[in-house]
Amino acid sequence: VGDSLLRQNVADCTKLQGDVESMDEKEWRDEAVGIILGATVLLGDDPWLLGSGEGPMAARSALSTTLAPLYSSYVTARVQMAKMEEHYITLHQADLDEVREEISATDLEEEMSSASSLGRVNVHSALVCLGGLLQQCLSSLKLLFESVGTNGTTQEVTPDVAALLEEARLLLLCVCHLLTDDNAGETPMIPEAIVRASSVSESPSAYETCHAITSLVSSLMSLAEFQASKVTQFPADPRLSPLLAKTLLWFFHRWAPAYVLPSTVEYNASGSGENGVLSIWNSGESSQQAVALCISLCLHYHCSWPQEKQVQEEAASLLLALSKRGKPMRSVLVQTPSFCQLVSLHAITAGIRHNAAQLEVETAIAAFPGLQGSPTPPTN
């Protein structure tokens, strides 16, 4: 039923060329899909299903087999419709007003949270689905970013480019909600379903699951790093998408505090084995690389996009979340060159007038040992 409803929505959206507002039956179909997702949340939260007996294990297996295809259908349909809608909006300059846009974002957040419960019924299958879609999208996105600055002029965002950027953003949301929980005000932890799926003692596909998680996160790291490097060179090009940058930072804000240097005592022993997800970013080298990337992103965005308030807020939230994670994380932070550069740049520029000439800023930075080659914050 859910798959059929999603397909009908995609067919209608395609027929109307992305004019979602004109879809007559979309509302009740979305409501029906929402009920199915809500039922999945209730099933996934059933304590009995988390048991270790034969009954719970058989029930989990049955649910996994039955519901796994629905997650793939949901993600595929949701992304396709988002692409078509964004293409239509950009083509006809039909942006939503702020109130409707905020409502839409809230609804999407709730929908994605419910969909993540559906994906966690069969984590490996969900990861394979997202991995395939993401790789296709990232190939096109890389070509787009490579074209930035090639002709020496800043180009506008075309409907096709807007659709591609929205596709990437939606996939990012799906990955983030699948792999992480909103741990605001709590100790950041990897979702139990992810830990169990990566545990050799509890999942026959544990090795494949760990590999899929590593591959997904590595792809997003590469994307973020490449985008940030382009932003440093061409900050005025709208195709680099501050909204996508904000979403990437939001992902790392939720992912890094939970997955990097996790405390195994906070989890069941079964998930902390040699091949579990808890060990992927728990070594010195892997944790340093992950933290270094996060800090480097914040450094580049702070210096290149100071006018993008949402990007700045998300970067600050990421830094704060990492610093609150405990002594081991803070030790890695202070040993990261990008963090030292960020602190030094703040110390230098905090005493400079906002209307100072660019040359004055560059001279102050050049005079500070160790900051040669650092990104230079623009002056107002």
- For the segment 61-100, what is each residue's pLDDT rounded down to a tens digit? 777 777 788 899 999 999 999 999 999 999 988 766 665 6
> Which tokens go with 254?
């939720």
Q: Supply the mean pLDDT for the chain.
A: 85
Nearest residue to 258 (alpha-carbon basis) of 194, 337, 170: 194
- Cβ–Cβ < 8 Å for 82, 170: yes
Band of pLDDT at residue 361, cut at 50, 70 and 90: low
Give the tokens for residue 273: 């084995």
Element (H, E) at 116: helix 98-119
Element (H, E) at 64: helix 54-92
| pLDDT per position as a tens digit, 253-278 | 999 999 999 987 777 654 444 558 99
pLDDT at 348 over 70: yes
Please count the CA atoms within 13 angstroms of the CA of 253 that sit on its side-chain side: 23
Of 141, 86, 75, 138, the C-alpha closest to 111 is 75
pLDDT at 110: 84
Each residue of 125-134: pLDDT tens digit? 999 999 999 9
Alpha-carbon span 8 to 301, nearest angstrom = 41
Q: How far apart are CA 266 and CA 351, in angstroms?
A: 43
H or E element, residue 43: helix 26-44
Whether 358 shows a pLDDT value over 90: the answer reads: no
Beta-carbon contacts of residue 15 (< 8 Å; ≥ 6 apart)? none
pLDDT at 169: 95
Higher pLDDT, 217 or 153: 217
H-type helices in 120-241, by residue range?
Answer: 123-147, 159-179, 192-197, 206-233
From the list 244, 226, 248, the residue with the least C-alpha distance to 147 is: 226
Provide the token pair at 366: 């050049």
